[in-house]
Structure 1
Amino acid sequence: MSRVYLTRPLPDRVLARARDLFDEVEVREETAPLKIGQMRAALALYDGVLPTLGDMFSAEVFLDTENPRCKVLANFGVGYNHIDVRAARAAGVMVTNTPGAVTDATADIAMTLILMSARRAGEGERLVRAGKWEGWHPTQMLGMHVSGKTVGIIGMGRIGQAIAQRCHMGFGMDVVYYNRSEKELAFPATRADSLQSLAEQADIVVVAVPGGAETHHMIGADLFAAMKPTAHFVNIARGDVVNEVALIAALQVGRIAGAGLDVYEHEPEVPNALRSMENVTLLPHLGTAALEVREAMGMMAVDNLYAALHGETPPNLVN
């Protein structure tokens, strides 16, 4: 008998698929992250758990956990920096994720933020909604023309490449990227030898690296100091990749022209300093928020669960 636990409500098609595959499916109706006691209980009570962003399966959760009933954490999402994979593995628990399903949707949100920040779209909408728009005139709300500019992509994995392709093919932008290794790409792009070099060249800087200890506060005051004062900064990666205090400081003194953010260092908390600035576009972590995408993510996570609980290697096992 297989008993699985879904830590958040999921689309109906995903729930139906899970109920077809497993003997018992428990769905937690709350949308807040699990607490440490709930995570420890889940490891003891279920054969498999489908967690997601915010469910902090840290090393502490696995302390004194030997041979737990749970054999797999099938993460709903490509990023898994909220799970201590080494501690899970030591406890005999596999970890999987959902790569691929999120690529295009996340790249689309990056483009949304690029355009909203550069063209002052959020500020303009607020002006109209407040009834303060006085009509069109030639110097009204002048922003930055995106076409033909240079985009700097930090992290050239699947999502970084999808963003770069949209920028180059759709907007004729030159692409500069910073990555640990050279990439063979289907479009022209130049690899920068440092973050500073990338920042100096780019009109728009987009962060698309995975979260985790290696990238924590990877972006800080040095990068913002190297950017052009006319440049915009976009983050669709993980909030703690960016030193939020340094970003706020750069925006407040006009070191950079604007920012578009879908993720935050301590989400769902967003500093009032960011919320109060007109040149900052803020989205509520919408990267994959499309029904088709969330269904695809859920199906992939359920398939990972099924494989792990039937003695097979899950298709998206995290090594």
Structure 2
Amino acid sequence: MTEKIIAAADGSALGNPGPAGWAWYIDETRWAAGGWAHGTNNMGELKAVLDLFEATAHLPETHLHIICDSKYTIDSISRWLPGWKKKGWKKADGKQVQNLDLMQALDAAIEGRSYSFEWVKGHTGHPLNEAADRRANEAAQAYRDGVEPLTGPGWGKGESSQEFPDDSAADTPDPETLAPTEQVADDAVEEARSCELQTLNPSIYGSEKLLGSLLHPELAWVVPTGQVTDRDTVLHYRLRACASSGPVEEVLATELGTEATLLVTRVPTDKGLLIRSSTWVLTGGSWKLRYRQDTRA
């Protein structure tokens, strides 16, 4: 038998960048959260994992299984980090690794640790992922509102671990056995995906300011009737434009270059299922929705 901790880690940024939060969650007696007045979703995702490793550093022999909905975070730690380190913390395109301080702290925190990651799609009802997401979002909202966030009990008073058979724990990926090529544009896809999810979050689209921070000044949004609407119209009718009636399914996510990403999703609404195509572009250091078309399925 080998000891194993199962935890979820998540991050949230309102506006991305904007007020940001992070959280990890094991159970009601063991969880932690925090954040910043200004940060990105990726910062929150990485910090949640880092704090989890640091909170369990007193259990170096225990396997840490982390549930995460960020492929960027999982790939950064499990695949790309060793190569970045060898190249002086440079990516394949020669640019400096983003969030370098967090990456270097993670490099130190995972040394000698036994760990594995499990990717889950966000906002699909996974209990641990939902618990971490809710706490990260609440921390981000606290920073937005200028109040102290709930930071949680940390490791708390729970049992040190759970026991599982040896074969239930996945091995930490060996970087030498993985494909050597790094997908440079994965940063762009992940950031756009995070922003897309924010446009579906009532706490975001309920605020004209927060939703507006995600919309390009020259936004063109084609509604199911074929009419082309602009940014001001979308903000005026934002509750109608952004509300969904159930989980959203991603159909396609692909880069259109390092500063543009196309996302295609299926969005259930009160008036039926929509096929939604969204083009996100990097403008002034932030990802903005430049074009969207909704078509009835």
- Tell me whether the two structures share a fold, i.e. TM-score over 0.5: no
Q: What TM-score does the superposition give when structure 1 sets the normalisation length?
A: 0.22
**Structure whose residues are more often helix by fraction:** 1
Q: What TM-score does the superposition give when structure 2 sets the normalisation length?
A: 0.23
**Structure whose residues are more often strand by fraction:** 2
Give the structure with higher Rg (CA): 1
